[in-house]
A and B are shown apart, each in its own frame.
Chain A
Amino acid sequence: MNRNGVVIRNGVAVDDTFAEAFPMKATRLVITAHTIEWARHAAAAASGFATSVIGCGCEAGIECELPPERTPDGRPGIALLLFAMSGKELAKQIERRVGQCVLTCPTTAVFSGIAEGEAVALGKNLRFFGDGWQTSKVIGGVRYWRVPVMDGEFVAEETTAVVKGVGGGNLLLLARDTDSALAVATAAVAAMKRLPNVVMPFPGGVVRSGSKVGSKYASLGASTNDAFCPGLYGLVDSELTAETRCVLEIVIDGLGEADVSAAMRVGLQAGIDFGAARGLLRVSAGNYGGKLGPFHFHLHKLLPGDEE
């Protein structure tokens, strides 16, 4: 550790800082289909335009693919995680996204992927699309709705469970150039995707437009994180050095604090394994001084050999 509290691992500087995360409401949906391709189509559509609660209403992503033996109906499926700032907003997003992206997709069915929690409507309101021909069936204590559609019927569990989640875990990857930044971010996201209970909601799991709170424009609550913009080096009070030409961020939402922590740990390790020799110069994290979010993920505590 140097005088600034920076730890060097494999030539990569790891800042003495923390990611600041917030409580969110979360649910898991399981989408099944006749083939995994159609489940992917539905899951991609349902989790589309769900990168940030700021403009999308929710944050969502594909958690994993499920083999037939792990789905309620014995067909291939996909687990989707959705996060919002309130249970009410999450319920609205579920209804819209399932109604427009899953109900519409050939052969799909949708189930709750979480057993315990506050119940919100899944197929409960979508059933009215059946125009009176919908029927319900309670099987094993769970109510399902069967809605006639043009390829047969759409089956949806009546409700899904909403639980407390954690949103906004993050890693800032400061790299020598675009190629190395993309390569290390891709490797880190791939490592994090192997873990359960987390999603990285931005395109490819990576965001380039990291933001700071506030703006010179009164109407904007957030604006570009100028301290990490290479193009503003020399113009603003920059966090960067002249060698740092590209910064990418990975944002992590998880069902629990431990899940986000685990994902950040493997992401950080992936970055260290990538190393300075291939272009990753530094790893940092975004926070608001620790005053806004109750979850603090200190990078040094996530380093190998420093497991909590």
Chain B
Amino acid sequence: MSGWTLRLRQPPALRLDLRGFTPVALGALTAAELERTPVGHGNRLQPLAEFFTVAARSDDSLVFEGDLTRCDRVGWQMDGGRLVVDGAAGDYTGACMTAGEITVWGDAGALAACEMAGGALTIEGSVGEFAASTLPGSIDGMRGGTLVVRGHAGARLGDRMRRGTVVVFGDVGEFAASRLVAGTIAIGGQPGVHGGFGMRRGSVVFAGSAPEPSPTFVPAISSVPVFWQLLSRDLARHGGPFGSLPARRIDRHLGDLAADGKGEWIVAR
């Protein structure tokens, strides 16, 4: 198995669909085979070489270079290995991935990590709407793995998310953790309005600004020192606004009472 560096020749005229281009799948190909591999461009399939230059690497990584803002489904259903985007990525980045590691050094579009089931996706920039949520029409969103966003996240972060951990260093848009089934979302910046709308279970940690109290959440009167130490220590390894969490006191609110009511907001003081 060998790694590849795929450098975008120029921004494509239409959106590219990069599904199937994963480290494991490409590791078995020769350079010629890889260049002939069809890639979706608009509603047509065209050889990869029309869009990317191909160069072998000494390691097993798959590296995309260039501005891939118009390239969707980077790391789609990825099941192992290491993928790096040395720039921005389009929509559905890391969607449905089950294992492996993806790093995007720029921003990512909408629906990043949606229905992600395992592995680690790190976005050094910001992500668009519906990160860690569902594919349109699906019931369950992200169901495992870790999404780390060092910038900001758009609206509906973690919509219908069921399992896994999402860490956003910056601000998040409205309706973060809406309809959350379970899992953990940690927010380091300013939360948008209507956070936790209809959440059933799960935890939303506010390490930055405190959210506006929702009328469908109730204050928790009991302390949860064991759980907080377990969770905060795990989040602290991400550093930034989360590094001091184990030493901070917390307030909790339980809800959303309009749903199951077993979720919680954790506000670090």
Is A292's CB within 8 Å of the partner chain B? no
Is A135's CB within 8 Å of the partner chain B? yes
Provide the residues of chain A in CB contact with B225, threshold 8 Å. Answer: 34, 73, 75, 152
Complex Cα distance, B224 from A155, in Å, reads: 9
Question: Closest chain A residue to B235 by CB distance?
Answer: A139
Instruction: Say whether B229 contacts A137, CB under 8 Å.
Output: no
Question: Closest chain A residue to B223 by CB distance?
Answer: A152
Instruction: Say whether A155 contacts B230, CB under 8 Å.
Output: yes
Provide the residues of chain B in CB contact with A146, threshold 8 Å. Answer: 224, 227
Complex Cα distance, B234 from A74, in Å, reads: 13
Provide the residues of chain B in CB contact with A140, threshold 8 Å. Answer: 234
Is A60's CB within 8 Å of the partner chain B? no
Is A72's CB within 8 Å of the partner chain B? yes
**Quick one: which of A109, A133, A138 contacts B226, CB cutoff 8 A?**
A109
Asked whether A74 and B246 contact (CB < 8 A) given A144-B227, A146-B227, the answer is yes
Complex Cα distance, B227 from A196, in Å, reads: 28
Can you list 10 A-B pairs, Cβ within 8 angstroms, ordered by A? A32-B226, A73-B229, A74-B229, A136-B182, A137-B230, A138-B164, A139-B234, A152-B224, A153-B226, A155-B227
> Which interface residue of B184, B225, B230 has the most chain A CB atoms within 10 A?
B230
Instruction: Say whether A75 contacts B201, CB under 8 Å.
Output: no
CB distance from B181 to the nearest CB of A (A): 11
Question: Closest chain B residue to A148 by CB distance?
Answer: B222
Complex Cα distance, B202 from A137, in Å, reads: 8
Asked whether A75 and B262 contact (CB < 8 A) given A137-B231, A140-B234, the answer is no
Chain B interface, number of residues (Cβ within 8 angstroms)? 20
Question: Closest chain A residue to B229 by CB distance?
Answer: A73
B interface residues (Cβ-Cβ under 8 A, vs A): 163-164, 182-184, 201, 203, 222-227, 229-231, 233-234, 246, 262
Provide the residues of chain B in CB contact with A139, threshold 8 Å. Answer: 184, 230-231, 234
Instruction: Apart from A34-B225, A73-B226, A133-B262, list 18 A-B contacts with CB within 8 A.
Output: A72-B229, A72-B230, A73-B225, A73-B229, A74-B229, A74-B246, A109-B226, A135-B201, A135-B262, A138-B164, A138-B183, A139-B184, A139-B234, A140-B234, A146-B224, A152-B225, A153-B226, A153-B227
Chain A interface, number of residues (Cβ within 8 angstroms)? 19
Instruction: Say whether A137 contacts B246, CB under 8 Å.
Output: no
CB distance from A70 to the nearest CB of B (A): 13
Provide the residues of chain B in CB contact with A133, threshold 8 Å. Answer: 262
Asked whether A155 and B163 contact (CB < 8 A) given A135-B201, A137-B203, A139-B231, the answer is no
Instruction: Say whether A144 contacts B230, CB under 8 Å.
Output: yes
Instruction: Say whether B229 contacts A138, CB under 8 Å.
Output: no
Provide the residues of chain B in CB contact with A144, threshold 8 Å. Answer: 227, 230
Convert A143-156 into 0s and 1s, putting 1 for each residue whose CB lies closer than 8 angstroms to a CB of B: 01010000011010
Provide the residues of chain B in CB contact with A155, threshold 8 Å. Answer: 226-227, 230
Instruction: Say whether A73 contacts B230, CB under 8 Å.
Output: yes
Complex Cα distance, B201 from A135, in Å, reads: 8
Complex Cα distance, B224 from A32, in Å, reads: 14
Provide the residues of chain A in CB contact with B203, threshold 8 Å. Answer: 137
Complex Cα distance, B224 from A80, in Å, reads: 24
CB distance from A130 to the nearest CB of B (A): 10
Provide the residues of chain B in CB contact with A136, threshold 8 Å. Answer: 182
* Interface positions of A from 110 to 148, Cβ below 8 Å from B: 133, 135-140, 144, 146
